[in-house]
Amino acid sequence: MKEWDARLIAARRWLLLVVLLLAAVVLGWRAVYLQWVEQDFLQGQGDARHLRVMDLAANRGVIMDRNGEPVAISTPVDSIWVNPQVYLLNEGDTKVAQLAKVLKLKVKELRQRIDTRADREFVYLKRHVSPKLADKVMALAVPGVALQREYRRYYPMAEVMGHVVGFTDVDDRGQEGIELALNERLHGVKGGKRVLRNNMGEVVEDVESISEPQPGENVVLSLDKRLQYLAYRELKVAVKTNRARSASAVILDVKTGEVLAMVNQPSFNPNNRASFESANYRNRAVTDVFEPGSTMKAFTVAAALELGKIKSSTVIKTSPGHMRIGNNTIRDAVNYGDMDITKILQKSSNIGVTKIALSMTAEEMWKSLDKLGFGLSSGSRFPGEADGKVGDYWRWSPVQQASRAYGYGMQVSALQLARAYSVLANDGLLKPISFLKRDQAPEGERVMSAAVASQVRKMLESVVADEGTGKQAKVDGYRIAGKTGTVHKSGSGGYSDDRYVAVFAGIAPASKPRLAMVVVVHDPKLGDYHGGQVAAPVFSKVMNGALRLMNIPPDDAQAIKSRQAANDAYLLRVAGGANE
């Protein structure tokens, strides 16, 4: 019995040894298998849990004015994000109250944002934060919460350039203005790199670069920020002084078709997204239309001269100060009697220009307006540009044809009107509009003879004379040509008796034109409402500074010496203001 027990114990010992040996062999084989045979698979599984591809933000292109001054730049900022899986697995919710307080969010809102996206690995908590806030968040050491480097758009000229430059959204995509129109050129291409993250979601190692970010293209605008600031300042004063609802101003280089300045009131600050209102950030000078009133009389006269229906010496009888067309009566302010063409423009006679218009067929008159670009896009490609409206000439009744002769029954934008006046300034050549700086002037299209353009320009100088309706548009030392317009605003019940649009369109210098400018003021409510009293003074102040800034010599040789000292001081003052 004892011998049997001894053998049984020995057998058990050997069995145990064999089992342990087999277990060791199996474990050793498994280790070898995992380390060598399954190495690639296991490495891939590990990498899948810890290796991630991180986007590298691309810098958006800089927008500059024509002199190379930046008006839109991108600055690096941090955004705060969270990996909900890491956050929830590592008890990040224990610090939710502290995190919510720093981010100025409600605890319930923060929890809901994370919990509803628990299956994701990346959720933004707050975009484009200040460095101070980013440091406070990271000091909390909340599991799964990290920073992402991005870029935020900054606009040094703020309200002054806002309507033209536009703005981007939080993802750096253009939403309005040049930012939207040229988004493809300005927008860069993101890069990427592979990084190793730990269980807390933190980057512990850069593994490899996949692609380098490609910055967007820089863009040079045609605008001059000095002229832009000057126009912005004077237009804002005019709106406040006249208690107007809104206003716009446009300055064009008549030789190149470049937009040198374009401003609107009310304006907005593209750096402050909280203040955005759609009524304020649209570019009214391009998107809004109005009836241009008497500023159209210059083109009615030009069309009749071109067709040989009248001569500059033609005398037209306007007595007794009113005339009937069908059931409608057209009136002048007073009975002007017999008037030549220059006098008709100078006194802005509705009867005189009506008789000129009716000397043409409706088709002839329509064709002349069409050539000047009325009712058509200027081709600037600015977002939301309005075409305006002239109407079908075959539908015009005689009174409708007459009303278009003095700017009623049709609609134009401030940009369209400025472009048409640039034709008079540029001896009959229509240049394509550009918001980008041009290296050389385009050839343009001849839409009016040089002789007729010169004649009308000379007539328009009388409007700015002491006897004209636009005498407040004068610029000391320079010959100015222009036309006033005062328009009753139309509504659902017809034309209003107490709502107006005040307009002035002008050319400077008239002797050798370089600039065309249009000023439009809607609903002036304080004092006078006429274009000659509301819009013309804005033209005078802005053009006075613009001619100095562009070093365009005065027509009056004696004025050159007397203005030189004032000119130098003015340049310093305006340049300093534009940098505010």
| 97 within 8 A of 75, measured Cβ to Cβ | no
| 435 within 8 A of 223, measured Cβ to Cβ | yes
* Same domain, yes or no: 292 and 392: yes
* Same domain, yes or no: 164 and 89: yes
Instruction: Write out pLDDT tens, residues 397-433.
Output: 999 999 999 999 999 999 999 999 999 999 999 999 9
Average pLDDT on 205-212 reads: 65
Q: According to the model, what pLDDT value does residue 384 have?
A: 92
Instruction: Write out pLDDT tens, residues 81-90.
Output: 888 888 887 7
* Same domain, yes or no: 450 and 504: yes
* Same domain, yes or no: 476 and 569: yes
Give the torsion through C-alpha atoms of 311, 314, 319, 322, to 10 deg. Answer: 0
552 exposure class (CB count in 10 Å sphere: 0-12, 13-18, 19+) = middle
Q: Please indicate, yes or no, if residue 4 is contained in any of the structural domains.
A: no
CATH number of the domain enclosing 503: 3.40.710.10
Q: Tell whether the model's pLDDT for residue 580 goes beyond 50.
A: no
Burial 360-389 (b: 16+ CB within 10 A, else e): bebebbbbbbebbbbbebbebebbebbbbe
Average pLDDT on 383-409 reads: 94
Residue 200 vs residues 79, 89, 121, 213, 492: alpha-carbon distances, Å: 18, 9, 12, 27, 65
Tell me the pTM. Answer: 0.84
Instruction: Write out pLDDT tens, residues 163-203.
Output: 999 999 888 898 999 999 999 999 887 776 666 665 555 56
- Domain count along the chain: 2
- Please give the full DSSP string across 145-188, using - where no structure is assigned: EEEEEEEEEE-TTGGGTHHHH-EE-TTS-EEEHHHHHTHHHH--
Q: Please indicate, yes or no, if residue 258 is contained in any of the structural domains.
A: yes
* Same domain, yes or no: 236 and 200: no
DSSP secondary structure letter of residue 252? E
Q: Please indicate, yes or no, if residue 119 is contained in any of the structural domains.
A: yes
Q: How confident is the model at residue 119 (pLDDT cuts 50, 70, 90)?
A: confident
Whole-number Å distance between alpha carbons of 94 and 155: 40
* Same domain, yes or no: 232 and 359: yes
Q: Please indicate, yes or no, if residue 515 is contained in any of the structural domains.
A: yes
Q: Please indicate, yes or no, if residue 27 is contained in any of the structural domains.
A: no
3-state secondary structure at position 51? strand
Return the minimum-mean-pLDDT range out of 18-32, 130-144, 298-312, 460-474.
18-32
Q: Tell whether the model's pLDDT for residue 1 goes beyond 60.
A: no
Whole-number Å distance between alpha carbons of 202 and 147: 9
Closest residue by Cα to residue 232 from 167, 164, 166: 164
Whole-number Å distance between alpha carbons of 517 and 494: 30
Instruction: Write out pLDDT tens, residues 468-521.
Output: 999 999 999 999 999 999 999 987 778 888 899 999 999 999 999 999 999 999
Percent of the chain clearing pLDDT 70 (strictly above): 87
* Same domain, yes or no: 556 and 501: yes
* Same domain, yes or no: 486 and 404: yes
Whole-number Å distance between alpha carbons of 205 and 560: 69
Q: Please indicate, yes or no, if residue 26 is contained in any of the structural domains.
A: no
| 52 within 8 A of 85, measured Cβ to Cβ | no
Catalytic residues: 294
Q: Please indicate, yes or no, if residue 106 is contained in any of the structural domains.
A: yes
Q: How confident is the model at residue 39 (pLDDT cuts 50, 70, 90)?
A: low
Whole-number Å distance between alpha carbons of 299 and 470: 17
Average pLDDT on 444-448 reads: 94
Residue 274 CB partners (closer than 8 Å, separation 6+): none
CATH number of the domain enclosing 194: 3.90.1310.10
Q: What are phi and psi of 265, to 5 degrees?
A: -135, 135
Q: Please indicate, yes or no, if residue 19 is contained in any of the structural domains.
A: no
Closest residue by Cα to residue 252 from 413, 143, 124, 463: 413
Which domain covers residue 463, as residue numbers? 225-271+282-578
* Same domain, yes or no: 338 and 470: yes
